[in-house]
Chain A
Amino acid sequence: MLTFIARRLLFLPVVLIGVTLLIFVAMSFLSPYQLVSTYIKSPEELKNQSLDDLVRKYGLDQPVHIRYMNWMKNLLKGDLGYSVSANMPVTEAIAKRFPATLELALFATIPVVMGGIWLGTISAKHYNKPLDHFSRVFAIVGWSLPDFVFGLILLMLFYGVLGWFPPGRLSMWADSIVLTGDFVRYTGLNTIDALLNKRLDIFWDAVRHLIAPVITLAYLWWAYLLRITRSSMLEVMNKDYVRTARAKGLTERVVMNRHVRRNALIPVATVSGSMVLGLLGGVVIVETVFDYKGIGLLTATGAQQLDYTLVLGTTLFYGLLLVLINLVVDVLYAIIDPRVRLE
């Protein structure tokens, strides 16, 4: 197990360098003058220096490899430049907005995984029965509904008509309490902070704002996980050891939950990497639709205002995040399926 993790860790820098190279190539589409903003630390720098001075100061007139090394040095210091649209350094903007996205992702992942696997199990149990056909249609329709369309319709019905799930992160009254000094921000996650501050009303308000975005993020992956769990359950159900388990006289429930599902979950674990990838992309749309102030909305508004400094910075952040998540997924996968470690 340890050698497996060590091998994966050794591979990490290679991927990281690849990710930074890709971003750097994207940056080289821009002229040195446009790139200055990705290097400066505050708007004051622009005041008493000409653009040409700044280009020279940050070595933007240097050959490619030197520019890459300079840029990497800045990165390692955690310096991603100054964002015009957010009016603060990119690193600061990311640090400010990330807890919101993390909260959304955490709240979405749990129902996605539980719900998707549950639906897939039911579908496989009732193979070729009406319930199975119904879940198949649900999956195809779910897979065909773009999240921005679904999100807008949710907003129209559940906020416009019913007034249940408002957009944003908190209501005005809750926001004004959170901003005062009495409310201690431990994590930046509204729900957890509210509980730690013993404010159930704020907790409920935060949850109310999370429900619609979470459903929008989740339903697409329900459909996906349902199909994968179903087909892998069906495959395992034909295995000899399942017949043996039945022949031993075990109840159907034990056979299903212990023998079939555990083995059927291995392919499900394989797709969790691509699921995380999709969730992080989906966050951009969902946050835009529901005006939920996280990294996704930050990226989207940055892109609309052509704030490439911000977009490149957040993308780099996404890239690093994904590399780390993939590492965790791989390790978890090796724990679930011992056969992987032997390869």
Chain B
Amino acid sequence: MVMKKLLRNPLSMAGMLILLVFILVAVFAPWIAPTPANYANDPYRVPRYGWGSNPSPPTKEHPMGLTQGKYDIFYGIVWGTRTAFQVGLIVTGFSCCIGIIIGSISAYIGGKFDEVVMRFVDVFMSFPFLIAAIVITTVLGRGLDKVILALIMFRWTAYARLIRGNVLQVKQEEYIMAARAGGVTHAKILLRHILPNTIFPVLIQASMNMGSIVVTASTLSFLGLGAPEGYADWGQMISFARNWILGTPTNPLAYWYTVVWPGLAIVLFVLSWNLIGDAFRDIMDPRIQG
């Protein structure tokens, strides 16, 4: 039903097509951008061709050119797709699990316990997401794993709040009371009766946030706080472009390829999630349907 509506809407259709392309690129990365023999032990390291620091324009061998440090842009984008999906999936998966567990238990127990947990969530949510992530990566040190950890730490609260609202509603339903009266244990009620009726909106919301999580992760890389230098990562590709953005005195657009290609990759990735998400919201929210 939902799928049919999504396929009928040209915008969400476009979103799904773009996403499909990204999935294919991620899956077939070793064939699209084969790893050179001398880099074979770590395919996520972007190969360098030459030793200068300045970028070189696209050629036949390097269709998108080489960025600062002579890193191959095409290779970085193709393998960066894998990095993007990894970060997105791990952060969404873990923060969703933590949020659902804490949020649903808190709502199910209710009372003082719930009050304390929610104030705790409030404090977490009172920091700008990006700033919080910066603090964690500063304290823990550099690296993609630290970025993922930081994002999970400050992401789960949103899902906890979401599922809590849903559980509070369902808790009042008669079939829950019936289950209690029938002597079903609390754990079983939560798992069998409450979660199946509350979890789906949260899962949808979480998957739609994938785009914004990838943006935050690449922002951290852009600020020089994410992946180590040379790791296939879109944000880092763009941070390389920063020093060359003004081109040469005679040609201000001389190094356009250093920012345009990786920029396009991020924008299209996020756009595809947002197109699908926007259509989803319209389908789920009957108020806006005219």
- Complex contact B139–A146 (CB within 8 A): no
- Quick one: CB contact mask for A268-290 with B, threshold 8 Å, 1 for yes? 00000000011011101100110
- Complex contact A15–B126 (CB within 8 A): yes
- Quick one: CB contact mask for A140-164 with B, threshold 8 Å, 1 for yes? 1101111111001101100111000
Q: How far is the CA of A303 from the CA of B138 in the complex (A)?
A: 6
Q: A148-B238, A152-B242, A284-B131 are in contact. Are A19 and B126 (CB under 8 A)?
A: yes
Tell me, rounded to whole Å, the shortest Cβ–Cβ distance linking B210 to chain A: 12
- Complex contact A288–B274 (CB within 8 A): no
- Complex contact A318–B271 (CB within 8 A): no
- Complex contact B241–A152 (CB within 8 A): yes
B246 at the interface (CB under 8 A from A): yes
A251 at the interface (CB under 8 A from B): no
Among residues of B, the one whose C-beta sits closest to the C-beta of A235 is: B287
Chain B, interface residues (CB within 8 Å), range: 35 or more
- Complex contact B123–A281 (CB within 8 A): no
Q: How far is the CA of A23 from the CA of B139 in the complex (A)?
A: 11
- Complex contact B131–A315 (CB within 8 A): yes
Q: How far is the CA of A141 from the CA of B274 in the complex (A)?
A: 8
A300 at the interface (CB under 8 A from B): yes
Among residues of A, the one whose C-beta sits closest to the C-beta of B254 is: A160
- Complex contact B139–A149 (CB within 8 A): no
Tell me, rounded to whole Å, the shortest Cβ–Cβ distance linking B77 to chain A: 13
Instruction: Name the contact of A304 in the complex, choosing from B218, B225, B252 (C-beta under 8 A).
Output: B225
Among residues of B, the one whose C-beta sits closest to the C-beta of A30 is: B139
Residues of A within 8 A of B138 (CB): 302-303, 306-308, 311
- Complex contact A161–B252 (CB within 8 A): yes
Tell me, rounded to whole Å, the shortest Cβ–Cβ distance linking B233 to chain A: 13
- Complex contact A156–B259 (CB within 8 A): yes
A299 at the interface (CB under 8 A from B): yes
- Complex contact B252–A284 (CB within 8 A): no
Tell me, rounded to whole Å, the shortest Cβ–Cβ distance linking A8 to chain B: 13
Q: How far is the CA of A280 from the CA of B134 in the complex (A)?
A: 13
- Complex contact B263–A153 (CB within 8 A): yes
A234 at the interface (CB under 8 A from B): yes
Which of A176-184, A319-327, A335-343 binds B? A319-327
A241 at the interface (CB under 8 A from B): no
- Complex contact A149–B267 (CB within 8 A): yes
- Complex contact B278–A303 (CB within 8 A): no
Among residues of B, the one whose C-beta sits closest to the C-beta of A310 is: B138
B129 at the interface (CB under 8 A from A): yes
- Complex contact B218–A146 (CB within 8 A): yes
- Complex contact A144–B271 (CB within 8 A): yes
- Quick one: CB contact mask for B206-250 with A, threshold 8 Å, 1 for yes? 000001000100110011110000000001001001100111000
- Complex contact B252–A160 (CB within 8 A): yes
Among residues of A, the one whose C-beta sits closest to the C-beta of B278 is: A140
B196 at the interface (CB under 8 A from A): no
- Complex contact A145–B126 (CB within 8 A): no
- Complex contact A281–B129 (CB within 8 A): yes
Residues of A within 8 A of B235 (CB): 148
Instruction: Name the contact of A160 in the complex, choosing from B11, B238, B247, B278 (C-beta under 8 A).
Output: B247
Q: How far is the CA of A315 from the CA of B235 in the complex (A)?
A: 23
- Complex contact B223–A303 (CB within 8 A): yes
Q: How far is the CA of A234 from the CA of B11 in the complex (A)?
A: 21
Residues of B within 8 A of A318 (CB): 127-128, 131
- Complex contact A156–B256 (CB within 8 A): yes
- Complex contact B288–A304 (CB within 8 A): no
- Complex contact B139–A27 (CB within 8 A): yes
Give the contacts of A19-55 with B (CB-CB under 8 A).
Answer: 19, 21-23, 26-27, 29-30
- Complex contact B245–A160 (CB within 8 A): yes
Q: A234-B290, A285-B223 are in contact. Are A26 and B246 (CB under 8 A)?
A: no
- Complex contact B245–A281 (CB within 8 A): no
- Complex contact B218–A280 (CB within 8 A): no
- Complex contact A29–B140 (CB within 8 A): yes
Q: How far is the CA of A19 from the CA of B122 in the complex (A)?
A: 10
Of the candidates B136, B219, B266, the one having the most CB atoms from chain A within 10 angstroms of its own CB is B219
Tell me, rounded to whole Å, the shortest Cβ–Cβ distance linking A281 to chain B: 3
Q: How far is the CA of A19 from the CA of B275 in the complex (A)?
A: 36
A119 at the interface (CB under 8 A from B): no
- Quick one: CB contact mask for B273-290 with A, threshold 8 Å, 1 for yes? 011001000000001101
Q: How far is the CA of A74 from the CA of B262 in the complex (A)?
A: 45
Of the candidates B119, B135, B137, B223, the one having the most CB atoms from chain A within 10 angstroms of its own CB is B135
What are the 5 closest A-B residue pairs judged by CB atoms, nearest first? A281-B128, A18-B123, A160-B252, A281-B130, A144-B271
- Given A152-B238, A159-B246, A282-B130: 9 more A-B contacts, CB < 8 Å: A14-B119, A19-B127, A140-B11, A277-B126, A277-B129, A284-B130, A306-B138, A322-B128, A323-B126
Q: List 24 A-B contacts (CB under 8 A).
A: A15-B126, A18-B119, A19-B126, A21-B123, A26-B135, A146-B215, A146-B266, A147-B219, A152-B238, A156-B246, A160-B246, A160-B253, A281-B129, A285-B219, A289-B242, A300-B223, A303-B137, A303-B225, A306-B138, A306-B141, A308-B139, A311-B135, A312-B135, A315-B132
- Show the binding face of A for B, using Cβ within 8 Å: 14-15, 18-19, 21-23, 26-27, 29-30, 127-128, 136-137, 140-141, 143-149, 152-153, 155-156, 159-161, 231, 234-235, 277-278, 280-282, 284-285, 288-289, 299-300, 302-304, 306-308, 311-312, 315, 318-319, 322-323, 326
